[in-house]
Amino acid sequence: MAVGTGHLETSTGLDNRKLLMWLFLGSECLFFGSFIAAYLLYRGRSTVGPYPEDLVDIPFTSVSAFVLLMSSVSMVLALAAIQRGNVRNLQIWLVTTAILGLAFIGGQAYEFTEFYHEGLRIDTNLYGTTFFVLTGFHGAHVTIGVLILLSLFTWSLRGGIQQKDSLNVELAGLYWHFVDIVWIVIFTLVYLVQPQ
Amino acid sequence: MATIAAPRRSPLSRALRDARLAAEESTGLLNWLATIDHKKIGVLYGVSAFIFFCTGGIEALLMRTQLVAPDSDVLNGDQFNRLLTMHGTTMVFLVVMPMSAAFFNLMVPLQIGARDVAFPRLNAFSYWTFLAGGIFLNASFFTEDIFSGQLGSPDGGWFGYAPLSLKTYTPGHGMDFYALGLQILGIASLAGGFNFIVTILNLRAPGMTLFRMPVFVWMTLVTSFLIIFAMPVIAVALFELTFDRLFDANFFDPSAGANPLLWQHMFWLFGHPEVYILILPAFGIISEIIPVFSRKPLFGYPFVVFSGIAIGFMSWGVWVHHMYTTGLGTIANSAFGISTILIAVPTGVKIFNWMGTLWGGSIRFRAPMMFAIGTVAMFTIGGLSGVTHSMVPSDYQQQDTYYVVAHFHYVLFGGAIFGLFGGIYYWFPKFTGRFLNETLGHIHFWIMFIGFNLTFFPMHMSGLLGMPRRIYTYTDGYGWDLYNLLSTIGAFTIALSIAIFIVNFLWSVRAGKKAGADPWDARTLEWSIPSPPPHYNFAEIPQVHARDEFWHRKYQEDADGNVVPVMAGAAHATETAHGGDGHDEHHAEGIHLPTPSFFPLIASLGFPFVATGLIYDYALIPVGATLIIVGFYGWALEPATEEVD
């Protein structure tokens, strides 16, 4: 579909774009894995404060993590809707997912600001460096995801997404769920597990 | 996708369509800027990489001129550092990787019987992003006053070791260009890696099972997997370095408690798979050449394929052999010493496979074969010296000496560059319809072979006598003088051989001896179509029945086991090969190839703007970001194939 190479079917039976997305996500695992490794290496090694235990607000971040997880549910519903040909529900769930994603990013912006006011900056200590860069890159991924969702929504308003185009939504969904899963790992390692 | 934007077209959309169709019709610059044809992109990759090869070579010649004798002052230490950094960075990221990418582009679709890669526009994006990154990196030379001898290029080594590469120890913008330039090049490599994996897995002609694929395609697949998993690791290391240098982060700052070995671990976790990214494509190329010029199938095809895969996996478990002397302890050093010795096994297997292919073959010593045999011989020497520094105590002695320089030039120049030249001589007739001049090819080979050994073999000696790498001068009395003199003479001998190649290339493109579709009596599908191939490659997608499909269409065994031409099949092969041009054109009418596009180029142009903006002036970042966004959205919204009214 992405190419006019004359192959009606692919050798593996998988759509080219879906295979591409899976490979991309595999590559992303190494990307986030490397940042997480750097965070873990430096956990509890900061020589000056503020330290994580002074700053982290687990109840607040739990709520925003819950919001992000729920956005995966609405993403699934969006895909289910278009696979049944229901464009109206697709639009509803795409917007819901985007709003939940934006709420998460809003929470992150609030958290970054709070930490900043309490004296944690990227150059303060190892915690500041690894925390802002790791969660910042995750936030950037969520932001790109929101842009993709809103683009799909706009596209569907112009009649560009019908039942036969559900793969577009599926690909966005794969990316969205991946970013969600990465957050589960980050939330566990960066927030829940604190150095003793 | 093609149907989405079709019904009502805005004036903008119509103008874009007209531009794309104009580019398709054009035979000049416009066509090259918008092309998404894998063959043209391959040519662009090859020519660009060769130009970078010459710049990297000139950097090497300047360094060798400085080192020709003790206490010379052609270059000062600062200039030497900058040249050695750019020489290494250029040869790895701007020469061997893109030259390999040129062959992926040119050959993979033809060898698997496809009309293009899976994502032609992504392919164009890879190329333009590579070029943008390469130009960005080299532009750093001019950020200081180059005419008074002030070079602005990176000066922290191609390995960019932090904390040394932090702003405190390496001021100036050189290492910013390094970190951001490699980041851009990484995007290009990643996009290419994804594209070729999907292409190889999904676009194979009917009947082309994985174990019927040519070995070059296999090696492309393994290399692409290494690329998509190794590049993110270096991307993270480079992001961390960039944050440290530009935003005062503390990833590598020991005074903030950072681990000074973090960079080395990340760099070599990327860096060791990277050396196989550099060498496996050349292995693939010579695995195509040696069987053709021995008139035998590759000996032990499954062994060659599986050892390639084994190398791919094992390359992730050997990185500490770059770091034995950093004090990780005997357990770590022993474990990685063992894994490093083990990775020599699949590599050695391949060497025996190539020798087994030659054994008893009916060998023709044509230019491609000379380079292929040269690759096997030179890589073996480099591989053996590699095994010597898998031994920890021995490596303690060799670390940071010229012995290591000798080793990696034997594998990367003696292995990769010889193999890539073999590929150029071998496939040149396919893409131009003409041979490279055979006599000049042999002269090129012998002069390069002699020059190469004259340059790098003495480095074993100077290294074992204790000459450290990267020093810009030395005093006499250490016994290094003669070896350095020989190395410098050798370096200029190599330059001479490259000049001969350039002459040969430019002459042969226009006036070389005509070559038919199958000038080498070869074995794989690319030789079954005319030379140069039509833009749609295959008029009819071939049906594959065997490994070495094209050979089996031409030859069969008679009752006594002798190879004899297949009369009926030969007729079929000849018909497909030599045209019956009218016949091909007749079929070609129904083939709709994707239309050229400008958006990949526009998106790629954004990256150097963002990078320059990060270094000098944030106002450039929105400019770059706009180009990237316009590029990606335009790309997503335009139909892959434009309909002509």
The secondary structure of B456-468 as a DSSP string is: HHHHHHHHHTTPB
Residue B427 and residue B552 in one domain: no
Residue B570 and residue B501 in one domain: no
Residue B119 and residue B247 in one domain: yes
Per-residue pLDDT tens over the stretch B377-425? 999 999 999 999 899 999 999 999 999 999 999 999 999 999 999 999 9
Q: If you average pLDDT over every residue of chain B, what do you get?
A: 93
Residues 6+ apart with CB under 8 A from B183: B133, B235, B238, B239, B242, B611
**Residue B38: per-residue pLDDT:** 96
Torsion of CA B600, B605, B607, B611, to 10 degrees: 180
Residue B575 and residue B481 in one domain: no
Q: Are B177 and B615 in contact (CB under 8 A)?
A: yes
Domain boundary residue among B493, B515, B537? Answer: B515
Torsion of CA B4, B7, B10, B16, to 10 degrees: 60
**Residue B11: per-residue pLDDT:** 87
Examine residue A162 and state whether it is found in any structural domain, yes or no: yes
Residue B431 and residue B525 in one domain: no
Residue B556 and residue B645 in one domain: no
Both tokens assigned to B197: 């994996």
Examine residue A76 and state whether it is found in any structural domain, yes or no: yes
Alpha-helix residue ranges (DSSP H) falling in chain A: 16-42, 52-55, 58-83, 87-117, 126-157, 166-186
The verdict on a CB contact (< 8 Å) between B266 and A34 is yes
Residue B447, classed as helix, strand or coil, is: helix
Examine residue A7 and state whether it is found in any structural domain, yes or no: no
Residues 6+ apart with CB under 8 A from B506: none
Per-residue pLDDT tens over the stretch B548-564? 999 999 998 888 878 88
Examine residue A12 and state whether it is found in any structural domain, yes or no: no
Residue B576 and residue B511 in one domain: no
Q: How far apart are CA B512 and CA B545, in angstroms?
A: 35
Residues in a beta bridge with B434: B514
Range of the domain at A133: 58-192
Overall average pLDDT of the B64-74 stretch: 95
Chain B, 253 to 272: residues with Cβ < 8 Å from chain A are 256-259, 262, 266
Whether the per-residue pLDDT at B87 is higher than 70: the answer is yes
Residues 6+ apart with CB under 8 A from A87: A81, A156, A161, A162
Residue B575 and residue B606 in one domain: no
Q: How far apart are CA A128 and CA B628, in angstroms?
A: 30
Query: How far apart are the CA of B30 and the nearest CA of chain A, in angstroms?
Result: 22
Chain B, 613 to 642: residues with Cβ < 8 Å from chain A are 633, 636, 640-641
B77 in contact with chain A, both atoms CB, cutoff 8 A: no
- Which of A10, A20, A160 lies at the smallest CB-CB distance from B194? A20
Query: How far apart are the CA of A120 and the nearest CA of chain B, in angstroms?
Result: 12
Domain boundary residue among B515, B544, B572? Answer: B515
Q: How many distinct structural domains can be found in chain B? A: 3
Q: How confident is the model at residue B10 (pLDDT cuts 50, 70, 90)?
A: confident
Residue A120 belongs to a domain with what CATH number?
1.20.120.80
Domain boundary residue among B515, B533, B548? Answer: B515
Overall average pLDDT of the B454-475 stretch: 96
Per-residue pLDDT tens over the stretch A112-157? 999 999 999 999 999 999 999 999 999 999 999 999 999 999 999 9
Whether the per-residue pLDDT at B63 is higher than 70: the answer is yes
Residue B527 and residue B581 in one domain: yes
Contacts of A26 in chain B (CB under 8 A): 228-229
Which stretches of chain A sit within 8 Å of chain B by CB?
A: 1-7, 10-12, 14, 16, 19-20, 23-24, 26-28, 30-31, 34-35, 38, 41-42, 45-47, 122-123, 125-126, 128-130, 133, 137, 151, 155, 160, 165
**Residue B560: per-residue pLDDT:** 82
Torsion of CA B155, B161, B167, B173, to 10 degrees: 30
Helix then strand then coil, % of chain B, to nearest 5: 70, 0, 30
Q: At what angle do helices B38-66 and B77-89 cross, to 10 degrees?
A: 150
Interface ipTM above 0.90: yes
Better-scored residue on pLDDT, A6 or B305? B305
Residue B40 and residue B25 in one domain: no
**Residue B9: per-residue pLDDT:** 75
Q: How far apart are CA B522 and CA B292, in angstroms?
A: 5
Q: Are B596 and B128 in contact (CB under 8 A)?
A: no
Residues 6+ apart with CB under 8 A from B477: none
Contacts of B641 in chain A (CB under 8 A): 4
Q: How far apart are CA B44 and CA B51, in angstroms?
A: 11
Q: How far apart are CA B459 and CA B385, in angstroms?
A: 12
B37 in contact with chain A, both atoms CB, cutoff 8 A: no
Examine residue A8 and state whether it is found in any structural domain, yes or no: no
**Residue A49: per-residue pLDDT:** 83
The verdict on a CB contact (< 8 Å) between A6 and B115 is yes
Contacts of A137 in chain B (CB under 8 A): 239
**Residue B590: per-residue pLDDT:** 67
Q: How far apart are CA B121 and CA B596, in angstroms?
A: 8
Query: Which residue type sits at B311?
Result: I
Q: How far apart are CA B287 and CA B527, in angstroms?
A: 16
* CA nearest to A20, candidates B506, B345, B224, B280: B224
Chain B, 229 to 248: residues with Cβ < 8 Å from chain A are 229-233, 235-237, 239-240, 243, 247-248
Burial of B205 (0-12, 13-18, 19+ CB in 10 A): buried
Test the A interface: residue of B36, B236, B242 with most A CBs within 10 Å = B236
Per-residue pLDDT tens over the stretch B197-249? 999 999 999 999 999 999 999 999 999 999 999 999 999 999 999 999 999 99
B543 in contact with chain A, both atoms CB, cutoff 8 A: no
Whether the per-residue pLDDT at B574 is higher than 60: the answer is no
Both tokens assigned to B125: 């994006």
Chain B, 502 to 541: residues with Cβ < 8 Å from chain A are 541
Better-scored residue on pLDDT, B89 or A195? B89
Contacts of B233 in chain A (CB under 8 A): 30-31, 34
Whether the per-residue pLDDT at B626 is higher than 60: the answer is yes
**Residue A8: per-residue pLDDT:** 54
Range of the domain at B21: 1-34+595-645
Per-residue pLDDT tens over the stretch B128-181? 999 999 999 999 999 998 888 899 999 999 999 999 999 999 999 999 999 999
Residue B401, classed as helix, strand or coil, is: strand
Nearest CA in chain A to B224: A23
Q: How many distinct structural domains can be found in chain A? A: 1
Residue B510 and residue B542 in one domain: no
Whether the per-residue pLDDT at B121 is higher than 70: the answer is yes
Residue B635 and residue B624 in one domain: yes
Q: At B257, give phi and psi (nearest 5°).
A: 95, 5
**Residue B565: per-residue pLDDT:** 87
* Predicted structure pTM score: 0.94
Whether the per-residue pLDDT at B318 is higher than 80: the answer is yes
Q: How many CB atoms lie within 10 A of CB A195?
A: 11
